[in-house]
Structure 1
């Protein structure tokens, strides 16, 4: 079991931002990454459809003997992770917007959250905001269209810049000093965001925290791969294989990307 892979899935290539943090923290671990690009974005889908796709992705990874599964999608986490934990014995790690550290550290007491519709409208997001953002003004913005543009692989396009300005501008006018990225695709926008944001506005995403939590669970369950060799990584997509390759092939050694119609 120790040498079995960590499974990671997302509605496309966004969750590779989580995979990169995991393999950076735990270079000896093997990973299988599943990009359901054909159905991206999940944020516009119904709860029932998100649940169905999450089950399908989970069973794909379980069939490949994954010892732990990271739901590297905010929308899938908020809509499906409780169900998945009840249905399967494999440990699950979820993703949710990092509102807590932003709320704790905000000096202006104003925090922006850029996320998908499916995340912002979920019960889990609501409870997280209620529990951790008391006394904080939280400005939510749905990043409609951003996932689709990132899935095309062009992170410098004029359309992407225009949308980001449209979504982030009103938050800056309200005086936010923290911007929480509530979608695993969005860390790929950080270079553009840093051009747009004043230096006193800090960006928070969940990648490093998720990697640390993954390691913690592996340690607790005695599942850490104690082999000496560097881990191997198999990445699958049902979308554009060239886009997936662009995001993963130079990120680690021993990486293979493959198109699979699932």
Structure 2
């Protein structure tokens, strides 16, 4: 494994850029290649078999780019496919799971909310995680329609506000004090969510933890990039304008037939 190769990151669209931003912030000297499989978003409504097949296709693409490790920046892909990915490929993988542990451990009301995709909430990995915290009441809510609106560039739309109210108001009434965001798209909704939630409810996402895990893996096993040219490459298989917009037009985005 060449320590000067790029970190590969994939997601079912633009949401995983929330993870990429955390990795890039912590490891600014690393090369990164980001793959947005927006054409097949959202993964949360697909079967486990479909999610595994798409995750392998994404992995094959990034390995053709000689990536030294792969970050699965998608909760649904991690919870449904990471075991199969690790069995099939030699490259190290880092996954992303809903951060239930810090929420359940620190909750004063013993009640937390989780907003995630159907695919994540239905997964075996998620159920195994939830079982560890039986003393905490966990209110699960599928974020139907949220990913589609984000992928369409409608983060601040009236439809988004309406959906978020319908998902979050019952959690507020149930006295949650932590809201876990169980999809890498959802951190882009934090400004909207904060307008709805009372101030005492804390929002947790997994981005920083994934970045730290990436740093640890590079330090322990692979090595850091020592070259001066820091490449940051973005690929998408749909119209690149939404991805460009979420990156504040600071980076080029290449559209590929994939």
TM-score, normalisation: structure 1? 0.96
Deviation at 1:249, TM superposition (A): 4.8
Q: Specify the alignment match of 1:170 in structure 2.
A: 170
TM-score, normalisation: structure 2? 0.97
Query: RMSD in angstroms over aligned alpha carbons?
Result: 1.0
Q: Specify the alignment match of 1:117 in structure 2.
A: 118
Paired residue secondary structure (1:221): helix
Aligned counterparts of 1:259 and 1:4: Cα–Cα separation in 2: 22
Deviation at 1:29, TM superposition (A): 0.3
Q: Specify the alignment match of 1:179 in structure 2.
A: 179
Deviation at 1:248, TM superposition (A): 2.0
Q: How does 1:126-165 map to 2 (within 5 A)?
A: 126-131=127-132, 133-165=133-165
Decide whether the 8 Å contact of 1:29 with 1:230 is kept in 2: no
Aligned counterparts of 1:125 and 1:196: Cα–Cα separation in 2: 26
Work out the number of aligned pairs and report it: 257
Q: Specify the alignment match of 1:27 in structure 2.
A: 28
Gaps of 5+ in 2: none
Aligned counterparts of 2:254 and 2:192: Cα–Cα separation in 1: 29
Aligned counterparts of 1:214 and 1:51: Cα–Cα separation in 2: 22
Deviation sequence 1:13-47 (CA, Å, 0-9, x none): 00000000000000000000000000000000001
Gaps of 5+ in 1: none
Aligned counterparts of 2:148 and 2:229: Cα–Cα separation in 1: 33
Aligned counterparts of 2:254 and 2:61: Cα–Cα separation in 1: 15
Residues 1:248 and 2:247 are matched in the alignment: yes
Deviation at 1:120, TM superposition (A): 0.1
Deviation at 1:250, TM superposition (A): 4.7
Aligned counterparts of 1:32 and 1:158: Cα–Cα separation in 2: 33
Deviation sequence 1:57-107 (CA, Å, 0-9, x none): 000000000000000000000110000001000000001000000001100
